[in-house]
Amino acid sequence: MTRAATDLPELAVSTVEDSHDKLAEGMLGGLFELVLGYDLTDHPELKKEVLCEVSPHVLLPADHRLARRRKVALTALADEPLVLLDLPHSRDYFARLFQASGVSPWVRHRTHSAELARALVARGGGYTLLNLRPRSDVSIEGLPYAVVPLEVDLAASEAHLRVVLMRVAGARRTRKAEALAQLCRRYLPSLIEQN
């Protein structure tokens, strides 16, 4: 939101981080005008605008035997512990990736935080799957980890996640929400591609 403060200094922007379901409820209840997130929920009253797509990555301890590979398949990690980003819709998405690979993961740790997942991986607690590539290959504790693209037997349309702006269909668009949407359209795809 620092970009919003710089480009739109007259605009007061409040942000909330929550589950997809809670954000959808908030939009339908009039609490939020605009939601930015992954396209993981289908709701007939919400209109989505695709901003970009992100592909899955495997995060591994820096000294892992597969850390220097160009791509890693889940079959190569079948006997290793997983640090699962355990959010309701994310959990289902990751389950599809494992199912497509014919792998039943051994979940050692569950977390609701991508930052904690990266920290556990860096400490050798297992591997994890994420879609947004971190800007740094170092955990919050300063420990390194490796990021390798995931090789999966799914069409890109199923393996990639779409990043979307969501609004209530048919709702009046405020100038404030439209200005913020324009900012997201202008900067978000290039910021994600840099990662």
Based on the domain organization, do 190 and 144 belong to the same domain? Answer: no
State residue 2's pLDDT score: 63
Based on the domain organization, do 68 and 93 belong to the same domain? Answer: yes
Number of C-beta neighbours around residue 169 at 10 A: 11
Q: Could you tell me which of 69, 72, 68, 67 has the C-alpha nearest to residue 57?
A: 72
State residue 68's pLDDT score: 96
Based on the domain organization, do 137 and 172 belong to the same domain? Answer: no
The 10s digit of each residue's pLDDT in 102-143 is 999 999 999 999 999 999 999 999 999 998 887 889 999 999
Number of C-beta neighbours around residue 117 at 10 A: 26
Based on the domain organization, do 32 and 61 belong to the same domain? Answer: no
pLDDT tens digits, the chain, 195 residues: what are they? 566 656 666 777 778 888 778 888 888 888 989 998 888 778 889 999 999 888 899 999 999 999 999 999 999 999 999 999 998 888 888 999 999 999 999 999 999 999 999 999 999 999 999 988 878 899 999 999 999 999 987 776 788 888 899 999 988 888 888 988 898 898 887 777 644
Domain count, the chain: 2
Based on the domain organization, do 63 and 149 belong to the same domain? Answer: yes
Give residue 143's domain range: 56-157
- Continuous H helices in the chain: 2-7, 20-28, 88-101, 114-122, 156-159, 175-194
CATH assignment of the domain containing 99: 3.40.190.10
Based on the domain organization, do 31 and 82 belong to the same domain? Answer: no
- d(CA 148, CA 61) in angstroms, rounded, equals 11
- d(CA 108, CA 124) in angstroms, rounded, equals 12
Based on the domain organization, do 46 and 20 belong to the same domain? Answer: yes
Q: Could you tell me which of 154, 152, 19, 156 has the C-alpha nearest to residue 85?
A: 19
Based on the domain organization, do 28 and 116 belong to the same domain? Answer: no
Based on the domain organization, do 133 and 114 belong to the same domain? Answer: yes
Based on the domain organization, do 80 and 143 belong to the same domain? Answer: yes
Q: Which two tokens stand for residue 45?
A: 């009253």
Based on the domain organization, do 107 and 170 belong to the same domain? Answer: no
The 10s digit of each residue's pLDDT in 157-172 is 788 888 899 999 988 8
Q: Could you tell me which of 19, 126, 134 has the C-alpha nearest to residue 64?
A: 126
Based on the domain organization, do 76 and 14 belong to the same domain? Answer: no
